[in-house]
Every structure is written in structure tokens, then in C-alpha cells.
Amino acid sequence: DTGVSQDPRHKITKRGQNVTFRCDPISEHNRLYWYRQTLGQGPEFLTYFQNEAQLEKSRLLSDRFSAERPKGSFSTLEIQRTEQGDSAMYLCASSLAQSATEAFFGQGTRLTVV
Amino acid sequence: QKEVEQNSGPLSVPEGAIASLNCTYSDRGSQSFFWYRQYSGKSPELIMFIYSNGDKEDGRFTAQLNKASQYVSLLIRDSQPSDSATYLCAVNAGGGNKLTFGTGTQLKVEL
């Protein structure tokens, strides 16, 4: 399967714990995006990378959220001190820079904070 | 005003009919427009994109764009029960590199 891969698919964590999610983009895609989606809403942009550079981060994103893409391949999204409001589907997408917004999504990581 | 607006539905159509899904956007600088299909509990799947005014057809799907009216639509011909899903409209607001999504329209195709 050469699509976008996310791990884990599901995560249940206790409030206050840290969690980390991984995304492996389509291999030739140099742009990688993180979105968050809650029930009944469309995906909400969090941040994106071109190669290893983080080029944009949502102004609404808490400082508890951090993302990395150290070698320009896979990316990780970490949430520190999780809160119940962080419960959502976290979606990763990738694209080619020259067709920047034709983004393809992975299956997502569903986070439940209890 | 939301950046991308869609009627949440549900929109119910009989099998074989044409389903028409609509989306308006607020930022006139938007250049790229996308339709994603999302089944319950699954991630969004790209089905159509359009950059220029007019119509773009792909199989049973036709995307229509009217930049003057800031309006984009998706027509699904010969609707099938398997088309039942939520359809998300997405726009690169301001011509940037991220997508801004609407809340989606739930489509139900009834036998």
C-alpha cells in the first residue's frame, strides 16, 4: 500500500498524559499536513511541512501541540498534557508541492482522552 | 461568516437521481477547490478538484465553479446507495497552501 499511513489508528489516554502520533506520507510527496476533525465538523488545519521545514502552524493551536518532520519523510505530532477537548480524529495528508493542495489523507488516529 | 459554507443536510435522493451539493466560500483569493467524500468513521477521500470557472467532469461526478459568485458545486449523476456519505468542500483560502473545509453535507441515496 503506497498511501498515507498513520499509527496508531486508535489511542485512549488519561487526561494529563502525553501522546505521540506518527504519519508516513506517500513517498514522493514533499508536503505533509496535520488536521484535526471532531464529530460533525470538517477537518481543521493544524500545521504543514515542506520537506523538513514547518512552514505554517495554526494560530489557534495550543502550545501543547508540537510536530516534527526531521528528515523530510515521516512526521510526528505530539500532544502534551492531554485534555478532554483534545479528543478528535487526527488526520495526516500529503501532497506534491507543485500540486500543493491536492492532498491525500491517511486513515487517521482517533484519540480519546478520558 | 464562515470561510466555507455547506448545508449540513441530510440531502436525500432516490437511487438513479442526480444529487446536487453546494458550497460557498468567502475569500475571493481562493484558487483551488476540492470535493472530498467521507464515509462514517473513515478519512476524507479526494474525488474532484477544480481550478477554473466552468464545469469539470469525471465519470458520474461534475464539479462546477463560479468564482464571481464564490460558489462551487458537485453533481453526482445516477446516484447509488454507495454514494451515501458526507461530502466535504475544501478551498485553499487566500491561495495559500492549506485547505479550509466546510462542515460537509450528508448525502443519503435511498433505494
Digit-coded pLDDT (tens) for B16-57? 999 999 999 999 888 899 999 999 999 999 999 999 899 999
What's the pLDDT score for residue A59?
Answer: 87
Number of other CB atoms surrounding residue A7 within 10 Å: 15
Q: How far apart are alpha carbons B33 and B49 in whole angstroms?
A: 6
Residue B25, all three cell numbers: 466560500
Residues A38/A46, Cβ–Cβ less than 8 Å: no
Query: By the CB < 8 Å criterion, does A103 face chain B?
Result: yes
Digit-coded pLDDT (tens) for A14-72: 999 999 999 999 998 999 999 999 999 999 999 999 999 999 999 888 999 999 999 88
Beta-carbon separation of A44 and B43 below 8 A: no
What's the pLDDT score for residue A61?
Answer: 86
Query: By the CB < 8 Å criterion, does B47 face chain A?
Result: no
| Candidate from B4, B8, B49 with C-beta closest to A102 | B49
Among A90, A91, A102, A107, which Cα is nearest to A29's? A102
**How far is the CA of A79 from the CAs of A64, A68, A72, A105, in angstroms?**
6, 12, 20, 20
What's the whole-number average pLDDT of chain B? 94
Q: How far apart are alpha carbons B101 and B110 in whole angstroms?
A: 26
Å between A83 CA and nearest CA of chain B: 22
Number of other CB atoms surrounding residue A4 within 10 Å: 24
A81 DSSP 8-state letter: S
Beta-carbon separation of B97 and A56 below 8 A: yes
Chain B residues whose beta carbon lies within 8 Å of the beta carbon of residue A46? none
Q: Which residue has the cell 491561495?
A: B95
Residue B93 pLDDT grade (very low, low, confident, very high; cuts 50, 70, 90): confident
Q: Which residue has the cell 506517500?
A: A26
What's the pLDDT score for residue B76?
Answer: 98
Residue A102 pLDDT grade (very low, low, confident, very high; cuts 50, 70, 90): confident
Residue A100 reports pLDDT greater than 60: no
Q: Chain A, 63-102: which have a CB under 8 Å from a chain B CB?
A: 89, 91, 100-102
Beta-carbon separation of B98 and A89 below 8 A: no
Query: By the CB < 8 Å criterion, does B92 face chain A?
Result: yes
A-B Cβ pairs (cutoff 8 Å, strict): 58
Report the share of chain B in percent with pLDDT over 70. Answer: 98
Residue of B nearest to A108 (CA): B43
